[in-house]
Structure 1
């Protein structure tokens, strides 16, 4: 089977990203900056021979995907498996509010406890299982083709770990920026990383998804500079 090429894109910025407020499955739209980011992402990928675009059904990802669909002249397919992690009782709260109201749960979240799930939410194990199964299914349907997956920070984090064989509990040292372009390959043997966190099309920067590491101030959990050879994807 020929490899499937994948462009994975996190949604554009929302007001809740700016406020460090957990969105999870709550349906928050893009803000003005996010719409501008999505438009620039789409222009950057205008000449890519994309065969199919799949997006989370949450508005922020769905709207981001529509910009790409317009320049590609195709429709977007809704895919609930590309939704953000369900954060249950954390949703709608800022990092500071979670720390103050739910300190024990906040600690488990910050430590990336794989089995921890906020009340009504998903664990990291459940998120990984869902995202990997979804991405594998979609990639397997397009051997030898290029597809776009538009989702969320948690989805991008799982894909990066799957492609680099990193444990789900390992501290994060890679960027998960809004509207960044990430590239992977898939074969039946698994995912391979091609390029990550390309933001050359965004001249005003992008917000990293701190929710993935629980907003941890620990430098080991903070995103570091991505090497130029990885940032500059082909």
Structure 2
């Protein structure tokens, strides 16, 4: 006898938060809680408008302000609440946080070199927060996404997170080794579509930014 169970595949709209002043000046944010700038607020409003007609059952966000502000722009017109999930935070960069790239290179030359060489197990210098290796961050970020999918089978969920989280999802869906260079863009306020079915994350489309003008910033590399 054939099963009448509904399709339990989960559709995920994975969205990077809108622009912040630190994005614009290439200052590393990590776990530091930076708000959207005026351009980021504009992007969030456009994002909310373009997604207003899409069937979204649930909106979830990192607990950092830049992500929550972006998620609220999506949820507001729907009269929905935003679920906050701290596991969707950006990677913690320890002593790198709050610094420009040039400042990181000057202050922490060895750690900066390892980071740029994609040493995924390199330990970051201690700062206000304790840094994560890229492998630790990848496991956390992908685990959070898969956990949200498992909690909403058969639903469509909008997840608002950060550039690093989006990178991890792309690598997981494409089967890319963590050590390989990032040769794909991660844009502010972009919509990136995935499906999770039978515990497998699959990429559907990447980097939708047609709703935004002018061009948006890539993630820090």
TM-score scaled by structure 1?
A: 0.88
- Which residue number in structure 2 is paired with residue 223 of structure 1? none
CA distance in 1, matches of 2:199, 2:32: 34
CA distance in 1, matches of 2:83, 2:122: 31
Preserved CA contact (<8 Å) 1:50 1:72: no
1:176-195 matches, cutoff 5 A: 176-195=186-205
1:31-70 matches, cutoff 5 A: 31-70=37-76
1:168 paired with 2:168, answer no
Report SS of the residue matched to 2:36: coil
The structural deviation recorded for 1:49 is 1.1
- Which residue number in structure 2 is paired with residue 149 of structure 1? 159
CA distance in 2, matches of 1:186, 1:165: 14
Equivalences, count: 211
1:7 paired with 2:17, answer no
The structural deviation recorded for 1:117 is 2.8
- Which residue number in structure 2 is paired with residue 112 of structure 1? 118
The structural deviation recorded for 1:169 is 1.2
CA distance in 1, matches of 2:207, 2:77: 21
1:100-139 matches, cutoff 5 A: 100-119=106-125, 120-139=130-149
- Structure of higher CA gyration radius: 2
Preserved CA contact (<8 Å) 2:146 2:199: no
CA distance in 2, matches of 1:11, 1:125: 22
Runs of 4+ residues over 2 Å off in structure 1:
none
CA distance in 1, matches of 2:182, 2:36: 25
TM-score scaled by structure 2?
A: 0.93
- Which residue number in structure 2 is paired with residue 83 of structure 1? 89
The structural deviation recorded for 1:88 is 0.5
- Which residue number in structure 1 is paired with residue 207 of structure 2? 197
CA distance in 1, matches of 2:164, 2:88: 9
* Structure 1: runs of 5+ lacking an equivalent: 214-234
- Which residue number in structure 2 is paired with residue 140 of structure 1? 150
Q: Quote the RMSD (CA, aligned, Å).
A: 0.9
CA offsets, 1:122-169, max 9 Å, x none? 011111110111111110111111001100000000000111111111
Report SS of the residue matched to 1:72: coil
